[in-house]
Amino acid sequence: MTIASASTSPEGARWGSVRPTGGGVGIRLLVGSKRLLRSRRLVLGLVVLAFFVLVALVGPHLVGDPNAFVGPSMAGPSARFWLGTTMPGQNIFYQLVDSTSGTLEVGFVAGAIATLVSVVIGIGGGFVGGYVDEALALFSNVILVIPGLPLIIVVASYVRSGGLLPTILIISFTSWAGYARVLRGQTLSIRNRDYVLAARVAGEKAWRIVFVEILPSELAIIVSNFIFMVVFAILTQSTLAFLGIGDISTLTWGNMLNVANNDEALTSGAWWWFVPPGLCIALVGTALALINFGLDEVLNPRLRVYKAPKGRP
């Protein structure tokens, strides 16, 4: 639960205490690069993610038309149709491969936009301070407590234009707030540290202080937030698509599940139709979560399991 309130929280203290003043995450990544590859979680996560990115890039060129009606209705897996067919007789394996890029695109683009917004509002507000900061913090907190999915559903009922872009925009708009809050708390605690004050006294420009002194020391949190937001965006897009909201012309894993559910795949026992797309979403999500935990393991010494202090059960 990283969303604890600013400087009084144990969470803030935890981040604060492991972060050497000035150093920045880059240096520690270099120093810890051996450990980086020794983290099995991180390596496993990277391998799985790389596999899916590869499938997204080259997969669609290797398989046939995913929308063509090529086989019998709802046939089980066979040598000809590896994952069986849909109700109208489309090749499910082709659909699965073709959906990869759309799903990843929503995840990474929405994650990037949300990260950018949270950095601008969180670090910007925390650095500028005063009424601007108070107003931005209030805005973040309001966005945070308004439940996202119902809002998305209602907005989607009004905006029915095509493409994945509306989905991407609305997911990023509703998901940045929690992380902006974390970044603001962190910035508030960093901006008064000696090295930042020294930079001010030395007459450095504001943008330089933000980009050279503050931003690098929050990079670990930002990267971690980005990864979580990619997972969140993928899950939200899948949920929306499954519920039949938003664009249904682009093939994604969520859309496959929506069609499967509408065509009674469940009550026909066609598990080969609704199991693989969900499994792919779960695998991508797990890979990203593993990368995050792996990075945390490397960067946060307190979470390392096998070096527990002696004398404690």
Partner 1 sequence: MRYIARKLGFYLVAAWAAITLNFFLPRLIPGNPVEILMSRLDQSGSPPAGEAHRLSLLLGLGGGNIAAQYWHYVDALAHLNLGISVTDFPVPVSQVIASTLPWTLVLVGTATVISFVVGITLGAIAGWKRGSWIDSVIPSTTFLTALPYFWLALLLLYLLAFVYHVFPLNGGYSPDLTPGWTWAFLGSAIYHSVLPALTIVIASIGGWLLGMRNMTVTTLSEDYVVAAEAKGLSPRRIMIGYAARNAVMPSITGFAISIGFVVSGSVAMEYVFSYPGIGYELLQAVNNEDYALAQGIFLVITLAVLGANLIVDLLYGFIDPRTRQSR
Q: Taking CB under 8 A as the rule, does residue 47 contact partner 1?
A: no
CA atoms within 13 A on the CB side of 140: 29
Contact between 48 and 56 (Cβ < 8 Å): no
One residue of 8, 21, 78, 262 binding partner 1 per CB under 8 A: 8
Q: Which residues contact 251 (CB under 8 A, 6 or more apart)?
A: 66, 67, 95, 98, 99, 102
Q: Taking CB under 8 A as the rule, does residue 310 contact partner 1?
A: no
One residue of 22, 59, 216, 285 binding partner 1 per CB under 8 A: 285
Please identify which residue in the block is written with the tokens 């999500």. Answer: 285
Closer by beta carbon to partner 1, 113 or else 281 = 281
Residue 2's nearest CA partner among 265, 292, 270 is 292
Closer by beta carbon to partner 1, 115 or else 140 = 140
Contact between 145 and 160 (Cβ < 8 Å): no
Residue 107's nearest CA partner among 229, 219, 19 is 229
Interface mask toward partner 1 for 133-172; x: CB under 8 A: -----x--xx-xxxxxxxx-xxxxxxx-------------
One residue of 31, 50, 212, 282 binding partner 1 per CB under 8 A: 282
Closer by beta carbon to partner 1, 58 or else 266 = 266
Q: Taking CB under 8 A as the rule, does residue 49 contact partner 1?
A: no
Q: Taking CB under 8 A as the rule, does residue 248 contact partner 1?
A: no
Residue 247's nearest CA partner among 170, 175, 173, 176 is 170
* CA separation, residue 100 to residues 79, 110, 250 (Å): 22, 16, 11
Binding site for partner 1 (CB under 8 A): 1-5, 8-11, 14, 41, 138, 141-142, 144-151, 153-159, 178, 231, 235, 238-239, 242-245, 254, 257, 261, 266-267, 269, 271, 274-275, 277-278, 281-282, 284-286, 288-290, 293, 302-303, 305-306, 308-309, 312-313
